[in-house]
Amino acid sequence: MAPNSSVVVERSRVLRRRGLSRPRGGSRTSNTAPRPWRSSGVPWLYLAPALVVLGGLLVYPIYQLGLISFFQYTQAQVSGGEPTTFEGFGNYSALFSDSQFWQVLVATVLFAGACVVSTLAVGCALAVLLTRVRAVPRLVLMLAALGAWATPAVTGSTVWLLLFDPDFGPVNRILGLGDHSWTYGRLSAFFLVLLEVVWCSFPFVMVTVYAGIRAVPSEVLEAAALDGASQWRIWRSILTPMLRPILTVVTIQSVIWDFKVFTQIYVMTNGGGIAGQNLVLNVYAYQQAFASSKYSLGSAIGVVMLLMLLAVTLVYLRLLRRQGEEL
């Protein structure tokens, strides 16, 4: 035995008594293995306040929305004149058999799609522009965009109506259109609302995408410029793949916002346009629930909108995961 073998044996005994020695197989005993903190309930304790708030502000209203959609709930039931009766899927059957619902649904999908594409195009273009201008113009553009973003929807809609007013609006005078009414025709009214929606929505896309571009290493962009790549090629082949998670977030957010547009349509087209030609699902649900006192039918429309938005979001995320994107 070596001269210092007694010291080694003594050390091994001390470590074994303290529970720090490993068994002969090379693995630590189960009673001394540290328990990861994630496997405990500590993270849920931190999340508990937020979950309680979300449960009160989100889960419970959705539950009530779905519950009302299965009952006959009109003004007679609200005032207590008639009892509430269970209708099952009767409200959904009446909704899906209504031809106006399908017309409004198609108009909503087309209008929301146009708003999303326009918002992303304007926001991404201005985000790239922010990286190309100097500090002072960048600051001015950022302040102007944030001012548009912070403007309430009612105020912004009223201002746009004044700008395009057939009698006093400066737009008709500049374009030489005389007393042309933008809200009279269906397409022109939708186009006017689209402009207002893009105006108040593009700052979110611009700021988010600009922050993502600033996080891209400058060496990558300089190498692409030295290789002769144009700005469009740099955006399509370099920035878009690197910014795809950010673009996913702003796209989903824009779909949710634009699909449930209410204030702009209601204010700028006076409740849905002439004979309801500019109705979208949110305004249509409002008319059925409050103007016609068919609260259960309005709730059914709300449930359909919620399921459609969830389906679009889940399908989009699934497609990105199939492409190997980290979200």
In this prediction, residues 256-267 reach a mean pLDDT of 93
pLDDT score, position 220 = 84
C-alpha–C-alpha distance, residues 181 and 175, integer Å: 13
Dump pLDDT digits (tens) for 139-196: 999 999 999 999 999 999 999 999 999 988 899 999 888 888 999 999 999 999 999 9
Dump pLDDT digits (tens) for 211-245: 999 988 888 878 888 888 887 888 888 888 888 88
Q: Are 274 and 257 in contact (CB under 8 A)?
A: no
Q: Mean pLDDT score of the chain, rounded to an integer?
A: 85
The tokens describing 36, both together, are 């990861």
Share of the chain above pLDDT 70, in %: 86
Q: Output the CA–CA distances (angstroms, integers) from residue 144 to 93, 121, 124, 149, in the order listed.
A: 48, 18, 16, 9
pLDDT greater at residue 264 or residue 54: 264
pLDDT score, position 36 = 55
pLDDT score, position 77 = 82
> Which of 215, 207, 196 has the alpha carbon at shortest distance from 146?
207
Dump pLDDT digits (tens) for 39-84: 567 888 888 898 888 888 888 889 999 999 999 888 888 887 788 8
Matching residue, tokens 């571009």 = 213
What does the CA dihedral 63, 69, 71, 77 come to, rounded to 10 degrees? Answer: 90
Matching residue, tokens 């497609």 = 319
C-alpha–C-alpha distance, residues 149 and 142, integer Å: 10
Question: Model's pTM, two decimal places?
Answer: 0.80
The tokens describing 253, both together, are 């957010």
pLDDT score, position 245 = 85
The tokens describing 20, both together, are 């720090």
Above 50 in pLDDT, residue 281?
yes
